[in-house]
Amino acid sequence: MGHYDRSQILPSSLFFPKNCSPLSATQVSSKGFGQSRVLGYLFANSTIHQAPCIVAMQEVNTKLRIPHVLTVAGSDSGAGAGIQADLKACAARGVYCSTVITAVTAQNTIGVQGVNIVPEDFVAEQLKSVLSDMNVDIVKTGMLPSIGIVKVLHHCLKQFPVRGMEDLFPMADIVTPNLKEASALLGGVQLETVDDMRSAAKSIHDMGPRNVLVKGGDLASSLDAVDIFFDGDNFYELRSPRVRTRNTHGTGCTLASCIAAELAKGSLMLSAVKVAKRYVGSALDYSKDIAIGNGLQGPFDHLLKLKSNVHNSCRPQVFDPSDLFLYAVTDSGMNKKWGRSITDAVKAAIEGGATVVQLSSTELPNEEPNEERLGEQIFEGILREKEAETRDFLESAKACVEICRAYGVPLLINDRIDIALACDADGVHVGQSDTPASIARALLGPEKIIGVSCKTTEQAHQAWVDGADYIGCGGVYSTNTKANNITVGLEGLKAVCLSSKLPVVAIGGIGVSNARAVMEIGVAALKGVAVVSAFFDRESVLNETRKLHALLKETTSSVK
């Protein structure tokens, strides 16, 4: 072993040799760099992102615009972290990544054997080469191995001298410290609980960055991987199942690069963070058993999307079963009754905690239509000839896709594969009398999410054979929302869950009064509940979704 150990290259790619203080960011400007338009940058895991400049950039670039992240970081010979992780993360997220190398490290899965710092003037030359020629959206920094290199970076990006972090954080859009880094930023305070992380996020926010993500991957007291995102007004607790693996080297660099990539594509901050967290979780899960090197902390595979899904022919693993946790199924009649638009309904459900949304087509129940409702709908002009109905539905679907994308929540379309394709939704939900899942899969391709309604174990098996991603099982309880629906009860739900190779969401008559009983059947395949009337046939969708979300959280933590 050489002179360095892994703790000197922190998991989130911050690297500060003994005599160098961690440093940060400055505003980015295109001035002096020809046609470059630098919108912002991640610096020591922070980012400045100036949305208005995107417009300027699009004007300059009349050809096909490709989002572009510049990473200023160190090379990791083991390719798990640093420049190599940044390149792979950006490639995986469909974003171009240019690189300015600040140091070359000799490292592997055992540790860091050596570091060779790139001369300052050559870092400056690399920066100038990229920035004078290319349209960069986001600059993301990782390992800045000396104050000299930080100064060079500052000088190249904006001509003012470095004083300290207190000058730089106010310019950052986000800083993403892990527990060690957050503790270091706060003078060594102990961070041991989620409440500690919230306080840390608040204190770091007080230093000036617009958003803070305190990453709790190392939080010993939590079964989940829990991160705290704070935007100055609200705290968001972002949880995902902890992936048990030794292959975690480079998660910090990857998360930061992925956030940068999503920002470069135009995402809102919270959405970028959620997508990045989900991406890292999927990559870790995909790579949990790979063996690269003999050391304690291996790298993971960023390019999972290019690989075969061993469980299901050649399909890449893109669906995250934890999205089934709180599944909101809209109902146009109910929204109309309460005088809200579909977009307001969807927004409220997501803000209340819905983790996936299904858009129901504007239709009357197929069987035994309720005369009163039929009269009402004709009166209100909902019942129209098919084509106009489809056009309206497509318009609503497009608006909802936009909202869901901004929040990082998948949007599925009920029944209508044509609409899902036309609005580029994340997938469809089909029933036993709708288009078969095998055909939906052929039409939608490998990446879209497909859910199938199943009441029996045989149907659940067929859904798996057909290439579905999840099962909706119900009606668990009787419901007024779906005419003539057969109730399977908790027993029927349990039987389907026990036999199913696919994750299951329970549906039918579920609300705050009975969701606990549903989740307490305690079968691993059951991932959440799907709800229509308990959200949408109420005055406040936001409040009802919040209530059920809180209850489910409570239930699942006591079930674990």
Ligand X SMILES: Cc1nc(C(=O)O)sc1CCOP(=O)(O)O
Ligand Y SMILES: Cc1ncc(COP(=O)(O)OP(=O)(O)O)c(N)n1
158 CA to centre of own chain: 32
**2 within 8 A of 114, measured Cβ to Cβ:** yes
- SS (HEC) of 333-353: HHHHHCCCCHHHHHHHHHHHC
Nearer to ligand Y, 286 or 327 (CB): 327
**310 within 8 A of 276, measured Cβ to Cβ:** no
Alpha-carbon distance of 45 to 213, in angstroms, equals 10
- Provide the minimum distance between the beta carbon of 162 and ligand Y in the complex, in angstroms, as a whole number: 54
* Helix, strand and coil percent figures for the chain, each rounded to 5: 40, 20, 45
Nearer to ligand Y, 350 or 507 (CB): 507
- Provide the minimum distance between the beta carbon of 478 and ligand X in the complex, in angstroms, as a whole number: 8
**Can residue 492 be called a binding residue for ligand Y (CB under 6 A)?**
no
Alpha-carbon distance of 327 to 147, in angstroms, equals 49
Q: Which residues contact 23 (CB under 8 A, 6 or more apart)?
A: 44, 144, 147, 150, 162, 164, 165, 168
Alpha-carbon distance of 210 to 199, in angstroms, equals 16
Is there a catalytic annotation at residue 215?
yes
**Can residue 533 be called a binding residue for ligand X (CB under 6 A)?**
yes
Q: Which residues pair with 47 in a beta bridge?
A: 42, 174
Is there a catalytic annotation at residue 251?
yes
Residue 411 contacts which entry, Mg ion, ligand Y, ligand X, none (Cβ below 5-8 A, type-dependent) = none
CA dihedral (375, 378, 383, 384) positive or negative: positive
Given the residues 88, 140, 215, 265, select the one marked as catalytic: 215
Nearer to ligand X, 179 or 526 (CB): 526
Residue 85 contacts which entry, ligand X, ligand Y, Mg ion, none (Cβ below 5-8 A, type-dependent) = none
Residue 479 contacts which entry, Mg ion, ligand X, ligand Y, none (Cβ below 5-8 A, type-dependent) = ligand X
Nearer to ligand X, 409 or 473 (CB): 473
Give the SS3 label for residue 504.
strand
Is there a catalytic annotation at residue 202?
no
Given the residues 71, 99, 176, 248, select the one marked as catalytic: 248
Residue 255 contacts which entry, Mg ion, ligand X, ligand Y, none (Cβ below 5-8 A, type-dependent) = none
Interface residues toward Mg ion, by CB under 5 A: 415, 431, 434
Is there a catalytic annotation at residue 556?
no
Task: Pick from 510, 518, 541, 548 the residue near ligand X by CB under 6 A.
Answer: 510
Task: Pick out residues in 393-432 that bind ligand Y (CB under 6 A).
Answer: 414-415, 429-431
- Provide the minimum distance between the beta carbon of 377 and ligand Y in the complex, in angstroms, as a whole number: 16
The residue whose two tokens read 């904006």 is 158
Alpha-carbon distance of 238 to 112, in angstroms, equals 31
Joined together, the tokens standing for residue 558 give 């006591």
Is there a catalytic annotation at residue 473?
no
Judged by CB under 6 A, the number of residues near ligand X is: 17
The CA-to-CA distance between both ends of the chain, in Å, stands at 41
**Can residue 455 be called a binding residue for ligand Y (CB under 6 A)?**
no
Q: Which has the closest alpha carbon to 162: 153, 175, 151? A: 151
**197 within 8 A of 216, measured Cβ to Cβ:** yes
Task: Pick out residues in 306-365 that bind ligand X (CB under 6 A).
Answer: 329
**Can residue 356 be called a binding residue for ligand Y (CB under 6 A)?**
no
- Provide the minimum distance between the beta carbon of 396 and Mg ion in the complex, in angstroms, as a whole number: 17
Is there a catalytic annotation at residue 252?
yes
The residue whose two tokens read 């029944």 is 415
Task: Pick from 61, 479, 499, 555 the residue near ligand X by CB under 6 A.
Answer: 479
**Can residue 141 be called a binding residue for ligand Y (CB under 6 A)?**
no
Local structure of residue 495 (DSSP, 8 states): H
Phi, psi angle pair for 42, to nearest 5°: -90, 130
Q: Near ligand X by CB under 6 A, which window of 174-182, 188-196, 219-227, 530-538?
A: 530-538
Nearer to Mg ion, 323 or 415 (CB): 415
Cα dihedral value 30, 36, 37, 38, nearest 10: -70
Nearer to ligand Y, 87 or 440 (CB): 440
Strand 224-230 with 235-241, pairing: antiparallel
Nearer to ligand Y, 340 or 429 (CB): 429
State the residues that interact with ligand Y by CB under 6 A: 327, 329, 358, 414-415, 429-431, 434, 451, 453, 472, 474, 482, 505, 507, 530
Instruction: Show which residues are catalytic.
Output: 215, 248, 250-253
In the complex, the residues that contact ligand X under the rule CB under 6 A are 329, 453, 472, 474-475, 479, 481-482, 485, 507-510, 531-534
